[in-house]
């Protein structure tokens, strides 16, 4: 039996690394007495696969995990047991059985939605909106070269095709920025990188972002995006501008 979990990485778990998250999830499943299937070999580990790693400091409202079990169990009882075993850093939202030979989450998911806040004290909403318009109108957008630890150089890359949507709205003393970004095997953008591009095109200084959250992971098909839950992956739909 194989199950898929939709869960939230809460504000309490914001500073968990991906390794910490994996360990926390394994302990949670053990507390819930889930009959986990294990890999073979010298160092067996649970057969679990996350959709996509979340960076430290980022929360996730709709994250996904596939777990293989060594025997069949009652789905409703299993969901209740896992929900009760979840620590404050995690919250189970949905659990369903999936085919044993189905596609992996990493093969299915190709879009990610993010939200973050910036202080409106020194940045005007109209400037951000202008930055969004100019960024989305650009024929090309280049990510600057980066040097990683160990002096590994990541070359510049054209990334305009990775940005699908960006919006801004005012919430009291904050500007709320929301964006939908493409995920693939060749390149991914961090929301902070897109924010830097908006600042460059809008002519304002990129203030520090706050409360970065990945609000959802999606499968894009025919201009629509769906969360990877439900037999046809269409129980949660999101309109996506393919431009």
pLDDT digits (tens, 9 = 90+) for 202-235: 999 988 899 999 999 999 988 889 999 975 444 4
Residues 71 and 154 in one domain: no
Residues 98 and 15 in one domain: yes
* Domain termination site, one of 65, 89, 107: 107
Q: Is 71 exposed, middle or buried (0-12, 13-18, 19+ CB in 10 A)?
A: exposed
| Domain containing residue 203 | 111-239
* Domain termination site, one of 79, 107, 135: 107
Domain total of the chain: 2
pLDDT digits (tens, 9 = 90+) for 79-135: 999 999 999 999 999 999 999 999 999 999 999 999 999 999 989 999 999 999 999
**Percent residues over pLDDT 90 in the chain:** 77
Q: In angstroms, rounded to a whole number, what is the distance separating the alpha carbons of residues 63 and 53?
A: 9
Question: How close are the terminal C-alpha atoms of the chain, in Å?
Answer: 40
* Domain termination site, one of 107, 133, 164: 107
Residues 131 and 233 in one domain: yes
The mean of the pLDDT values for the chain is: 91
Q: Using alpha carbons, list the distances in angstroms from residue 28 to 8, 25, 66, 95.
A: 14, 5, 14, 14
């Amino acid at each position: 039996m194989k199950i898929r979990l939709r869960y939230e990485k809460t504000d309490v778990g914001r500073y968990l690394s991906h390794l910490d998250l994996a360990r926390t999830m394994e302990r949670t499943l053990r507390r819930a007495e889930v009959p986990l299937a294990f890999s073979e070999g010298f160092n067996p580990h649970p057969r679990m696969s996350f959709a996509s790693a979340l960076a430290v400091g980022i929360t996730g409202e709709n994250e996904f995990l596939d777990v293989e079990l060594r025997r069949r169990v009652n789905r409703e009882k299993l969901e209740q047991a896992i929900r009760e075993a979840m620590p404050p850093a995690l919250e189970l939202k949905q659990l369903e059985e999936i085919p044993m030979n189905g596609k992996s989450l990493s093969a299915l998911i190709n879009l990610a939605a993010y939200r973050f806040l910036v202080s409106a004290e020194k940045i005007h909403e109209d400037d951000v909106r202008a930055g969004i318009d100019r960024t989305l109108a650009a024929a090309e957008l280049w990510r600057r070269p980066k040097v990683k630890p160990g002096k590994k150089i990541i070359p510049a890359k054209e990334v305009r095709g990775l940005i699908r949507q960006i919006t801004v709205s005012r919430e009291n003393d904050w500007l709320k920025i929301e964006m939908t970004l493409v995920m693939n095997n060749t390149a991914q953008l961090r929301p902070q990188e897109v924010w830097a591009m908006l600042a460059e095109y809008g002519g304002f200084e990129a203030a520090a972002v706050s409360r970065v959250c990945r609000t959802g992971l999606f499968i894009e098909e025919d201009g629509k995006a769906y969360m990877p839950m439900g037999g046809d992956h269409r129980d949660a739909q999101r309109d996506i501008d393919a431009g």
